[in-house]
Amino acid sequence: MKRLESKFEHILFSSRWLMAPVYFGLVLALIVLLVKFGKEVFYLFDHIMTATGGEMIIGVLSLVDIALIMNLLVIIMFSGYENFVSKMEDLHSHQDRPDWMGHIGFSDLKIKLIGSIVAISGIELLKAFMNVDNLTDRHLAWMVGIHITFLASGVLYALMDKISYKSH
């Protein structure tokens, strides 16, 4: 029976590698976002003489939005892989290795995730207010409500994390 239990635990432990394709899928998502970023930059330069100031600001905010999402994906890929699949031991001495790699735990990852979602939501809300004439009051109210919900969730996550940290 002990041998069966040991075999089961080995299979269970090895199953973490099923997550590896998910992280590779996030790499593909980065490529898609990079293409979208390039398209947005091209659009901005193509309309540099005809776009209004508000349109340019919305365009730049879109670039910031994409950059935040890409940064978030990198954090999720690296920390998720290192926390749940395998350590990147061969990269510890690499000169370009980010300082945060290997130090972001699951709790830190949740806080960074909700912080990024709040920032992205705030940018979308700012873009909506820059284009307020084309939106209904109901649409704006939903956007504000969703942003406030994300903001409150972020504060609650941070409080739970602080309470959890104090209890340890």
Q: How far apart are CA 57 and CA 155, in angstroms?
A: 29
Predicted TM-score (pTM) of the model is 0.75
Buried-exposed string 45-74: b where 16+ CB fall within 10 A, e elsewhere: eeeeeeeeeeeeebbebbeebbebbbebbe
pLDDT the model gives residue 157? 84
168 pLDDT more than 70: no
Banded pLDDT at 132 (limits 50, 70, 90): confident
Please tell me the predicted confidence (pLDDT) of residue 76: 86
Q: Answer whether residue 166 shows pLDDT above 90.
A: no
Averaged over 54-73, what is the pLDDT?
A: 90
- Per domain, the residue ranges of the chain are 2-167
**How large a percentage of the chain has pLDDT more than 90?**
38
Both tokens of 8, joined, read 């089961």
Q: What pLDDT does residue 26 have?
A: 96
